[in-house]
């Protein structure tokens, strides 16, 4: 596995990342001491992406949803008048 020092990694980052994306992992070292390993991400599995509407039919929204708690909210903002 390729090991590059941090200065070389900074100057050739684009090339190194492209190589890693093609499956050639590498290690970045600082003063000869290995610090991190760069590996390619696994491709996303088909059908695992989240999508809108996946909970359709699982719950219902009350008709007065936009009025729920309005009295309490009004009291919190206006406060009680003495």
CATH T-level assignment (fold) for domain 2-38: YefM-like fold (3.40.1620)
In the chain, domain spans:
2-38
pLDDT tens, residue by residue, 4-59: 999 999 999 999 999 999 999 999 999 999 999 999 988 766 666 677 788 888 88
Strands 26-30 and 2-5: parallel
Q: Which two structure tokens, joined as six digits, stand for 9? A: 């990694």
Comparing 51 with 68, the larger pLDDT belongs to 68
Q: Tokens 């200065």 map to which residue?
A: 7
Please compute the mean of the pLDDT values over residues 58-64 and round it to a whole number: 87
At residue 34, the pLDDT reads: 96
């Amino acid at each position: 596995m390729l090991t590059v020092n941090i200065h070389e990694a900074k100057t050739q980052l684009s090339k190194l990342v492209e190589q890693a994306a093609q499956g050639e992992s590498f290690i970045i070292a600082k003063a000869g001491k290995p610090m991190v390993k760069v590996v390619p991400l696994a491709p996303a599995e088909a059908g695992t992406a989240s999508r809108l509407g996946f909970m359709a039919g699982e719950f219902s929204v009350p008709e007065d949803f936009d009025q729920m708690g309005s009295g309490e909210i009004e009291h919190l903002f206006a406060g009680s008048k003495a």
